[in-house]
């Protein structure tokens, strides 16, 4: 069975029609030729954008000269009420300082250190998982949030503050479009960004709750009895160049993006992974058998045995990358495939199109976990696979995401059988991440 994807728009539509489609769902707003083209140009009255699928150009932008292609502030404007000045939206020296403080928390043996918390969240997910016809994005969002709180602040989602953050984040998701109007208009900094009142209220409540958690942790650190989790590691790490640490407001910015990136993206990937296993029962049976062996002794050292499960999760990230597009901006004149590109253009890197590009991937729309063991596809993984970006701005939590996704997929499949519901085929749309238009419904049965 070929997994579903959005219907592409016609090649030519009016600017007004394109803007409406883009604001509603950036995936169905794109023409089908982008699954084959090396590059495409789009013009608006205010700027030009270039969608790039050429591996040489992607390498130039992300790995060879990343300082010349900072993140586009047009996209960041829509997320500012929640993320403030977090590492997700900053550029230049500010971003480099933030990464020097954050990265040590995710290096070395931290995966092993956080594994017990992730395993506890996975076991709690098995306990909570409903049976019968179920919309699975909701319980998996709950689970992904639980992982974040356990690894970041050593509290389960049942904690009152954690529960409130999760509740407010659901409100934020429902009210926040992927693009703010500022993404298309050349507005000066002092002009209001037209954020919806409900979006601003939810973002304000989330930041207030995170501020409380951060202040309590700062007091615990000062008193000498803080747990050795990610929040403590980040808050006690000084920038090796300046000796500065994050102050409360900047730590709140970082926690907000950890929650957005770690919770929203994981929930998206896990939901699609279970749908793909439900529609491919032979793969599901292999995952269940592999997981049954692992669960006999679920130690960190045994994770390497979940090889097929990891390949299933990796293939899910190819077909349904949680972050479907990334936008950069060039600071100097460029030449893209013989075409001059003036400074200030919007450079779109699209994992969604790159991962299904027919010049790279055999049967690009098919779910095939075994493809990761061929030499051809290993080469494509280097050139055309960007679920966590690449270069200096690669997601600092990529290793955590792979561990979490593989472990949760194993434990849930070992405990339950997942089957598709024929009249509820999910259609992917891009909100904050790639989600299903009307949710992902599966029939869940205990094994």
Q: How many domains does the chain divide into?
A: 1
Which segments within 141-230 are labelled E, that is strand?
none
Going by C-alpha positions, the residue among 400, 398, 154, 403 that lies closest to residue 301 is: 403
- Residue 216 counted as domain residue: yes
How long, in residues, is the chain?
447
- Residue 134 counted as domain residue: yes
Asked if 404 and 111 touch (Cβ cutoff 8 Å), the reply is no
pLDDT digits (tens, 9 = 90+) for 215-237: 999 999 999 999 999 999 999 99
Question: What is the pTM (predicted TM-score) of this model?
Answer: 0.92
Residue 4: the pLDDT is 82
302 backbone dihedrals φ, ψ, rounded to 5°: -90, -5
Containing structural domain, residue 176: 15-446
- Residue 334 counted as domain residue: yes
- Residue 2 counted as domain residue: no
- Residue 1 counted as domain residue: no
Residue 20: the pLDDT is 64
Q: Please give the C-alpha separations between residue 97 and each of 211, 215, 240, 394, in angstroms, as whole numbers.
A: 21, 22, 9, 15
- Cα separation of 309 and 311, whole Å? 5
Q: Residue for token digits 């919806």?
A: 196
Residue 11: the pLDDT is 65
CATH number at residue 198: 1.10.630.10
Residue 194: the pLDDT is 54
Q: Please give the C-alpha separations between residue 21 and each of 178, 409, 425, in angstroms, as whole numbers.
A: 12, 33, 21
Residue 202: the pLDDT is 80
- Cα separation of 225 and 63, whole Å? 41
Residue 190: the pLDDT is 47
Asked if 26 and 178 touch (Cβ cutoff 8 Å), the reply is yes
Residue 191: the pLDDT is 46
pLDDT digits (tens, 9 = 90+) for 176-218: 655 544 555 554 554 444 566 777 788 888 889 899 999 999 9
3-state secondary structure of 408: helix
- Residue 117 counted as domain residue: yes
| Residues of the chain scoring pLDDT < 70 | 8-25, 75-78, 173-196
Residue 192: the pLDDT is 47
- Cα separation of 227 and 150, whole Å? 11
The conformation of residue 283, written as its DSSP 8-state character, comes to H
CB-based contacts of 406, cutoff 8 Å, min separation 6: 303, 306, 309, 310, 313
CB-based contacts of 194, cutoff 8 Å, min separation 6: 180, 181, 182
- Cα separation of 295 and 292, whole Å? 5
- Residue 426 counted as domain residue: yes
- For residue 421 the two structure tokens come to 């519901």
- For residue 442 the two structure tokens come to 């599966």
- Cα separation of 210 and 148, whole Å? 13
HSE toward the beta carbon, residue 12, CA cutoff 13 A: 0
- Residue 10 counted as domain residue: no
């Amino acid at each position: 069975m070929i997994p579903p994807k959005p219907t592409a728009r016609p090649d030519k539509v009016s600017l007004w029609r394109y803007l409406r489609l883009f604001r509603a769902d950036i995936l169905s707003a794109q023409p089908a030729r982008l699954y084959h083209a090396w590059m495409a140009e789009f013009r608006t009255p205010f700027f030009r954008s270039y969608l790039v699928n050429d591996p040489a150009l992607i390498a130039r932008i992300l790995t060879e000269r990343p300082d010349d292609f900072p993140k586009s502030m047009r996209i960041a404007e829509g997320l500012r009420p929640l993320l403030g000045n977090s590492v997700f939206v900053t550029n230049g020296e500010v971003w480099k300082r933030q990464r020097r403080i954050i990265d040590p928390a995710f290096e070395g043996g931290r995966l092993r250190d956080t594994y017990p918390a992730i395993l506890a969240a996975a076991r709690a997910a098995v306990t909570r998982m409903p049976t019968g016809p179920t919309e699975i994005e909701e319980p998996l969002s709950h689970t992904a949030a639980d992982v974040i709180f356990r690894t970041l602040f050593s509290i389960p989602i049942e904690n009152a503050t954690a529960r409130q953050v999760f509740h407010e984040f659901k409100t934020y998701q429902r009210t926040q479009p992927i693009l703010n109007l500022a993404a298309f208009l050349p507005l000066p900094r002092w002009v209001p960004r037209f954020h919806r009142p409900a979006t601003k209220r939810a973002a304000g409540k989330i930041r207030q709750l995170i501020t409380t958690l951060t202040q309590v942790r700062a007091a615990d650190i000062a008193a000498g009895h803080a747990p050795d989790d990610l929040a403590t590691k980040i808050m006690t790490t000084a920038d090796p160049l300046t000796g500065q640490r994050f102050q409360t407001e900047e730590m709140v910015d970082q926690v907000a993006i950890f929650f957005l990136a770690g919770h929203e993206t994981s929930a998206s990937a896990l939901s699609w992974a279970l749908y793909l296993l439900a529609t491919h029962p032979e793969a599901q049976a292999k995952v269940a058998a592999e997981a049954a062996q692992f669960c006999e002794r679920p130690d960190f050292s045994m994770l390497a045995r979940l090889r097929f499960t990891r390949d299933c999760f990796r293939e899910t990230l190819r077909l349904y990358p949680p972050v479907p597009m990334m936008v950069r901006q060039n600071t100097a004149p460029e030449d893209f495939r013989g075409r001059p590109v003036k400074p200030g253009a919007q450079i779109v890197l699209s994992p969604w199109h790159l991962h299904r590009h027919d010049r790279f991937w055999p049967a690009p729309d098919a779910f095939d976990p075994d493809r990761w063991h061929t030499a051809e596809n290993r080469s494509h993984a280097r050139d055309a696979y960007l679920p966590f970006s690449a270069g200096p701005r690669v997601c600092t939590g990529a290793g955590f995401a792979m561990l979490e996704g593989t472990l949760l997929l194993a434990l849930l499949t070992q405990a339950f059988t997942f089957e598709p519901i024929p009249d509820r085929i999910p259609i992917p749309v891009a909100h904050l991440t790639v989600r299903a238009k009307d949710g992902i419904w599966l029939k869940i049965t205990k094994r």
